[in-house]
Structure 1
Amino acid sequence: MVNLVIVSHSAQLGEGVGTLARQMLMGDGCKIAIAAGIDDPENPIGTDPIKVMGAIESVADTDHVLVMMDIGSALLSAETALELLDPAIAAKVRLCAAPLVEGTLAATVSAAAGANIERVICDAMNALDAKCEQLGLPSPSAAKPTSPDLVPDADARSVAIVVKNPNGIHVRPASRLVSALSGFNADMWLEKNGKCVVPDSLNQIALLQVRCNDMLRLIAKGEQAEDALAAFKRLAAENFGESLEPANADNVATQVPPQATGTAFCYTPFSPEVSQQPTASPQADQQRLRVAIQNTLNDLSALTALAEERYSADIAAIFSGHHTLLDDPDLFDMACDLMQETQCSAAWAWHHVLSDLSQQYLQLDDPYLQARYIDIEDLLSRSLQHLTGEIVQIPAFIRPSILVADVIYPSTILQLDPKAVQGVCLRDGSDASHPAIIARAMGLCYVCQQGKAVDSIKMGDALTLDCVTQRITHAD
């Protein structure tokens, strides 16, 4: 049995990851303890070795304890805690380098299903495979063909179902599936469009990218194959434990007004021009980039806490997700490699790396994932501010306003005052984007894809937005 400890610089982030992970549990197969933030009201961001030690001790009544960490001093605090622990307890502890959010979810599902410590660590470390595949990025541990002795053969039996879950088999339904099939003495494969994975890992199931209305087949052979197929069919009939009704649809409808009127405020997101010319010291430039990324990660921790305080855990999860995305050493390494190859500046290399990632999102054929390009642009803008020193403040509004822009970043929307800003009108954008989701949670009228209609709008014009017809007019 494996229990987990979550170590994070942010109390809100740690608790949020813990809450999300516990939703993956269907029994008492895995305990989760949290050691996040420090007890200093003025400076609450940080990690405390004593708190980490206490968290480990609280779940040490097991074979192994796996410690999941976010960044920097979290690792140092965990290593210090190991030195302070009783040697008998310390011997049970393993530190995991997997990404905090995705890794914790994968490890929770794996541990709850009864996997040993090596398998739990493997599943956690492979947690980014599905995201890499969806984005068309290389994945060092992507699903590989099963070994010859585990290939489905003529003796295997199968059952096929059509997935009705609106968002397909995402994290929560996948965790139900792993748990439901974990206890059967049978060899099993999930198949979609000829691609097979073994359904004992959250990551492997995610790699199939199962969407609503996709045909999904479970193939099984062995002593309990029929029982496994029956369990799969029952779970599918229950939509993998998920309601098919849209969540909080009534609440959204009552929060967002059908129309909004205000004074136009024409806004341009920060997007500095960067020079390819390197500085005199490439090593110093790389260090400046590292500091800028860390400052951006600190911003994202603060935005996560702000979203949790003002709105909901779902909105906070957007920014904790941004934190996980940016806290990827491969991005920094790619920028450093580009600096070395082309003798360019850190700002130019970083702009190139993140802009390329943004374009990969835009080229996806799934509109929901495609709309996530603006999140990358947000991270790029914020990190370049720290790198160039050109810090941009959120506009101050002195009268009820309609914010007009080509696009808007999620972090900008979050920091707007909904008492002053009545609505948002965009030339481009997407109704499935995170800015749209945040705007609706704030009760703002959000109108996008207005194209040339915004060309005639000038600062100070009286505008009316219609959220129902998605139109903008000049008010009389």
Structure 2
Amino acid sequence: MVNLVIVSHSARLGEGVGELAQQMLMGGNCKIAVAAGIDDPQNPIGTDPIKVMEAIESVADTDHVLVMMDIGSALLSAETALELLDPTIAAKVRLCAAPLVEGTLAATVSAAAGAAIDKVIADATHALEAKREQLGLPSSASETRIGPAFSTQNASAKSVTVVIKNPNGLHVRPASRLVTALSAFNADLLLEKNGKCVTPDSLNQISLLQVRCNDTVRLLASGEQADDALAAFRQLAAENFGESLEDTAVNASSKGNTIGNAFSYTPMPLPVRHASDRSPGEEQMRLRNALDLTLLDLMTLITRVEENWPGDLTAIFSGHHMLLDDPELFDTACGLLRSEHCTAEYAWQQVLSRLSMQYRQLDDAYLQARYIDIDDLLHRTLRHLLHSPQVLPEVTAPAILVADNLFPSVVPELDPRMVKGICLREGSPLSHGALIAREMGIAWVCQQGDALNEVKMGERLSLDVVHNRVIRDRKPL
């Protein structure tokens, strides 16, 4: 068995990753300990080798302990902790180079399913492969995954075909349930979608199929417990992999039009300067600090959303956390800092703007709508770099919020008693902002374009959610 230790510079970040990982356990026998932050109220960001040592000792009643780390001194602290540990415990410990969030989630599912230490490390290390493939980037894997001992043409293989009804397809939580359930059977398994097959023994492999709502997938099984595995798969699909399919797409106001005064929201763009008068190393430190602060923002947001709207909404901002905690994005920005001698804000804007454009160019409308999430992360990080406070709409009377677009993280900040509806020139009905608004009972109409050009503050508007249109009264209230 494999237990995990999470080492992070931030106590809130480490606890948040630990909380996400706990959701993946599904009753598995994997223990998770967190060693994050330092005991200094004035400067709490950092890592403590003693904390890491104690965390390892707390979960050392197993065959192996895998240590997941974020950056810099986290590795140094983990290495120091190994030197402090009793040699019999230190011999069980492996340090993992995987990205903290994605790697920890993948390792947790793999460990909880009873995988050996080398497979847990491999699953963690390759945790970014699904994201890279989705964005059309080349694989970073150094070796080819060994497939199962049979193919789709194997005459002895049996199969079950199901249609996925989960609104967001086989994302992290339903996929983790599938991995855990199938790991119990002595059988060779393949999961197939449109002729593409993966072995359903890790989050990474299932993510590579990009299974969406209404996709048809087939599980093929061969071996001693093939029938049992197929029966379990059929039952999981019938239960929608443990997810509720309540129709969040139906707004509480969709039974009738939502009427209110127009309130214009036009946040000012943040000024980004290209040339820097600092060294590349200083700019890199500025960027790292801003990213850490943004990660803390997201953990706070995850906690608040979970308190007010428990359920799948927290997964949205957990996903933001995963995207931002990608070391390749940071490394790419650092390359620009060195080659162009530019500011951290310019380098980060270049990296995330390219990523946003890649999402915009995808064929899948659901995935395409994720570009605004990237823009949201860019804006949050720029605010920290430029020391610019967040400017939210100050709505003091019931109104319809009119804007060009709206970042998903802004929507939970709105008061649904004041903001009755959101009307956008751009946006998407498939965006995370739309999903959050519907959950909050706020009407959402988007892609109105030039129809909003002449709307005045205080003008009466009626939002027809069913037909996605805005109706102007043209008479101020």
Q: How does the TM-score come out when normalised to structure 1?
A: 0.84
Match for 1:98: what amino acid?
Answer: A
When residues 41 and 60 of structure 1 are mapped into structure 2, their CA distance, relative to the original with a 3 A threshold, is same
Q: Percent identity?
A: 60
CA–CA separation in structure 2 for the residues paired with 1:218 and 1:251: 29
SS at match of 1:61: coil
Q: How does 1:9-408 map to 2 (within 5 A)?
A: 14=14, 17-35=17-35, 52-71=52-71, 75=75, 78-79=78-79, 81-82=81-82, 85-141=85-141, 144=144, 146=146, 156-166=156-166, 167-221=168-222, 225=223, 227-239=225-237, 241-242=239-240, 246-249=244-247, 254=252, 258-279=256-277, 281-312=279-310, 314-342=312-340, 344-408=342-406
Shift of 1:456: 1.5
Deviates more, 1:301-310 or 1:106-115: 301-310
CA contact (8 A) 2:251 2:442 kept: no
Q: How does 1:404-419 map to 2 (within 5 A)?
A: 404-419=402-417
When residues 347 and 419 of structure 1 are mapped into structure 2, their CA distance, relative to the original with a 3 A threshold, is same
RMSD: 3.6
Match for 2:230: what amino acid?
Answer: F
CA–CA separation in structure 2 for the residues paired with 1:46 and 1:310: 30
CA contact (8 A) 2:6 2:35 kept: yes
Structure 1: state its 5+ residue gaps: none
Shift of 1:346: 3.8
Shift of 1:150: 6.8
CA–CA separation in structure 2 for the residues paired with 1:270 and 1:434: 22
Match for 2:395: what amino acid?
Answer: F
CA contact (8 A) 2:291 2:381 kept: yes
Q: How does the TM-score come out when normalised to structure 2?
A: 0.84
SS at match of 1:417: coil
Match for 2:413: what amino acid?
Answer: Q
Q: Give 1:467's match in structure 2, choosing from 457, 465, 468.
A: 465
CA contact (8 A) 2:102 2:128 kept: yes
Deviates more, 1:355-364 or 1:91-100: 91-100
1:458 aligns with 2:456: yes
Shift of 1:62: 0.9
Q: Deviations over 1:338-385 (max 9, x none)?
A: 344455544333222111100111122222221110011111122223
CA contact (8 A) 2:13 2:295 kept: no
CA–CA separation in structure 2 for the residues paired with 1:247 and 1:420: 29
Q: Deviations over 1:140-165 (max 9, x none)?
A: 02883647987677565242513333
CA contact (8 A) 2:423 2:445 kept: yes
CA–CA separation in structure 1 for the residues paired with 2:156 and 2:303: 50
Match for 2:442: what amino acid?
Answer: L
CA–CA separation in structure 2 for the residues paired with 1:202 and 1:32: 18
When residues 75 and 145 of structure 1 are mapped into structure 2, their CA distance, relative to the original with a 3 A threshold, is closer
Shift of 1:304: 2.7
Match for 1:113: what amino acid?
Answer: A
Structure 2: state its 5+ residue gaps: none
Q: Deviations over 1:199-236 (max 9, x none)?
A: 33221122122334544344455xxx153255224412
CA–CA separation in structure 1 for the residues paired with 2:341 and 2:71: 29
How many residue pairs match? The answer is: 473
CA contact (8 A) 1:256 1:443 kept: no
CA–CA separation in structure 2 for the residues paired with 1:145 and 1:89: 31
Deviates more, 1:400-409 or 1:442-451: 442-451
Deviates more, 1:360-369 or 1:196-205: 196-205
Shift of 1:460: 3.2
CA contact (8 A) 1:255 1:440 kept: no
SS at match of 1:292: helix
CA–CA separation in structure 2 for the residues paired with 1:259 and 1:40: 53
CA contact (8 A) 1:165 1:244 kept: no
Shift of 1:420: 3.2
CA–CA separation in structure 2 for the residues paired with 1:250 and 1:327: 29
Match for 1:356: what amino acid?
Answer: R
CA contact (8 A) 1:264 1:458 kept: yes
SS at match of 2:312: helix
Match for 2:217: what amino acid?
Answer: L
SS at match of 1:413: helix
CA contact (8 A) 2:267 2:391 kept: no
Match for 1:159: what amino acid?
Answer: S
Shift of 1:63: 0.8
Match for 1:447: what amino acid?
Answer: V
CA contact (8 A) 1:173 1:241 kept: no
CA contact (8 A) 2:101 2:325 kept: no
Deviates more, 1:464-473 or 1:431-440: 464-473
Deviates more, 1:16-25 or 1:458-467: 16-25
When residues 457 and 47 of structure 1 are mapped into structure 2, their CA distance, relative to the original with a 3 A threshold, is farther
CA contact (8 A) 1:161 1:216 kept: yes
When residues 353 and 422 of structure 1 are mapped into structure 2, their CA distance, relative to the original with a 3 A threshold, is same
